Amino acid sequence: MRGNLNLYACLPFVEIAKEATIQIGPVLFWPSSKHAQHLPLHLNTPFQTYLSNIKLASQPITCVSISDEIPIEDREAILIDSIYLLYFACTFRNLYYNAEVPHFSAFLKVIPASESFLSSQVNVESITLEPGVCIHLIDQEICHGLGIALNEIYVNQSHPMVDSFKRLIRAIRYFVDCFFERFVNLVGLGLDFPQTLFEAEDIIFLASSFESLLDISTLQPSADFKHKMRPMLHLKYSHPLEIFWKWVDGFYDLHKQIVHGGDNPDPIFKGNRNFHVPYIFVGMKLFIYTIYYMLFKYKLIESKEIDLFSPPDFKCIHPQELLLFFWTEDSLIRKISLALLQAADPQHQKEAVWLAELFQEMFIRYYRMEKNGVVRFIPVPKDEFDREARIVSDHAAAGATLPDGFLVALRQRLAG
C-alpha cells in the first residue's frame, strides 16, 4: 500500500489477540499497545493522554489508521466499509461450520482519534466499559483479497471490476446487518430469545445479500439464482441438482411469503430425505462460500487444485460442508459405486475419492452426531442403503483406493 497510514479512529471494545495487526487494503487495524510503532513520535504523549481521558489507558483497544491516499471526504465511508469487512473476516468460519450467530455491538462503538483531534486536546466523554470481543481467528488471505477490492474502489477507481467490487462489499454489509438489525433493545433486559423469532428478517437480509452480490434479476430471481450458482457448485449430477433446485425455489417462496404475507411459511427445508434443516442455515453457508468463490473469480484469492468433480476448495472454507445438504446417503453411495466401476480411468478415481470425502463429512457431522443443533438428520432405511454400500465395501476390499476415514465411516454405517 502506497502512502502513509494515519490514525483516524479507535474501536474501544475490540481487541486483537497476540497484539497482531490486520490490514485490509488502505486501512490498518492495530492494538493500542503498539502506539509507538504506528504513531509519529510527537503523537505518542497526546495519544496516551487521550486514552487516559476516556478511562481506557490499560484497556486493550483497536486503533484504525487510514492511508493518506484516501481523500478526506471518503474516510468515513471507507472506515465503515472496513469495519464491516473486518467483522466478516472474524466471524465467517464460526458461521460457516457451526452457525454461531455473532454479536456486532462491540464493533459499533467507534470514537474519533485523528491527529487533529488528538492535537486539539478535546476531552473525550468518558465511555462506560462494556463487554468487548477479542479477535482470535483471522484469515489473512481473505483480508488481502478484500483489501485489494477496497483499494480499487477508493484509490484507483478506474479498475474495470470496481462495480463488482462495490456489489461484493455491499453484499457483505447486508449479510452482517442480518445479525444486527434485530430487536436489540430488548436484549439489554436479559431475555434470551430463540433464533427462530428472527428467521423472517434473516431471510430478507440474506436475499438482499445474494441480490447485491450476484446482481440477481428482480423479475425471475429464482431462475437467475440457479443459473448463476450452478457453475460455482459444479452441480452436474441429476439428483443433487434436483435437491438444490428445490432449495432455491423454497427459499424464494419463503422470501415472497414473508414480504407479501399469507400463510405462515415453513422455515425448514425438507427437500432432501436425509435432512430437515432451516433455509437460513443452508443459505448462510451458501453465501459465505459464494463470497470466497467471487474473490477467487476476481483473482483476489487462490484455491486448492481444481478438478472436474469438485468446486474450488479454499484454505478455510471447504465446499463439502455445503454440498452434503444436496445429496442423500443412498444416491451418494450409488454414485461412488458407479465411479469405482470405472476407476481404471484416473478421473473417475478422483471422482470416487471426492464423493467418498463428502460421505465421510456427512457421517461425521450429522449421522454420528444424533443431535446437531438446528439440523435434524434422518438416516436412509438400512435395507435401502446396504446393497450399494456393500458393493462399495467389496470394491475397497479388492484394492480400490478410498480415504481411510470414509472406509471407517462406511463400516460403522453398515453396522448400524
**Residue pLDDT, tens place only, 178-214:** 766 444 434 444 444 445 544 667 888 899 999 999 9
pLDDT at 345: 78
Q: Is the predicted pLDDT of residue 36 greater than 70, yes or no?
A: yes
Q: Is the predicted pLDDT of residue 368 greater than 70, yes or no?
A: yes
Closest CA to 64 of 49, 41, 86: 86
Q: Which residues contact 123 (CB under 8 A, 6 or more apart)?
A: 53
Q: Is the predicted pLDDT of residue 407 greater than 60, yes or no?
A: yes
Which uninterrupted H or E stretch holds 112? strand 111-112
Closest CA to 27 of 151, 193, 197: 151
pLDDT at 152: 94
Going by the DSSP 8-state scheme, the letter that residue 178 receives in this structure is T
DSSP string, 2-64: -S-EEEEEEETTEEEGGG--EEETTEEEEEGGGHHHHS-HHHHHHHHHHHHHTT-TTS--EEE
Q: Is the predicted pLDDT of residue 15 greater than 80, yes or no?
A: yes
Provide the grid cell at 346.
484416473
DSSP-derived 3-state class of residue 272: strand
DSSP-derived 3-state class of residue 85: helix
In the chain, what percentage of residues exceed pLDDT 70? 86
Q: Is 168 exposed, middle or buried (0-12, 13-18, 19+ CB in 10 A)?
A: buried
Query: How does residue 391 score in pLDDT terms, banded at 50, 70 and 90?
Result: confident
Q: 85-142, pLDDT tens digit by residue?
A: 999 998 888 888 887 766 777 888 888 898 888 877 665 665 666 778 888 878 889 9
Going by the DSSP 8-state scheme, the letter that residue 375 receives in this structure is B
pLDDT at 83: 94
Q: Which residue has the cell 479454499?
A: 314
Instruction: For residues 386-403, give the mean pLDDT.
Output: 74
Q: Which residues contact 2 (CB under 8 A, 6 or more apart)?
A: 67, 69
Provide the grid cell at 44.
505518542
DSSP-derived 3-state class of residue 220: coil
Q: What Rg, from alpha-carbon coordinates, does the chain have? A: 24
Q: Is the predicted pLDDT of residue 323 greater than 90, yes or no?
A: yes
Instruction: For residues 279-308, give the mean pLDDT.
Output: 89
Q: 239-263, pLDDT tens digit by residue?
A: 899 999 999 999 999 988 888 776 6
Q: Which residue has the higher pLDDT, 258 or 301?
A: 301
Q: What is the C-alpha separation between 86 and 97, in angstroms, rounded?
A: 19
Q: What is the C-alpha separation between 336 and 147, in angstroms, rounded?
A: 41
Q: What is the C-alpha separation between 204 and 216, in angstroms, rounded?
A: 14
pLDDT at 127: 65
pLDDT at 128: 65
3-state helix, strand, coil in the chain (%, to 5): 60, 10, 30
DSSP-derived 3-state class of residue 133: strand
Q: Strands (DSSP E) along 231-340, which ranges?
A: 268-272, 275-278
pLDDT at 9: 93
Q: 336-348, pLDDT tens digit by residue?
A: 888 887 767 777 7
Report residue 238 CA to chain centroid gap: 27
Question: Average model confidence (pLDDT) for the chain?
Answer: 84
Amino acid at 302: E
Domain boundaries, the chain: 5-159, 191-325, 328-416
Q: What is the C-alpha separation between 414 and 392, in angstroms, rounded?
A: 11
- How do beta strands 62-67 and 5-11 pair? antiparallel
Provide the grid cell at 167.
456489489
**159 near 316, Cβ under 8 Å?**
no
Q: What is the C-alpha separation between 183 and 391, in angstroms, rounded?
A: 54
Which uninterrupted H or E stretch holds 289? helix 279-297
pLDDT at 264: 66
pLDDT at 182: 47
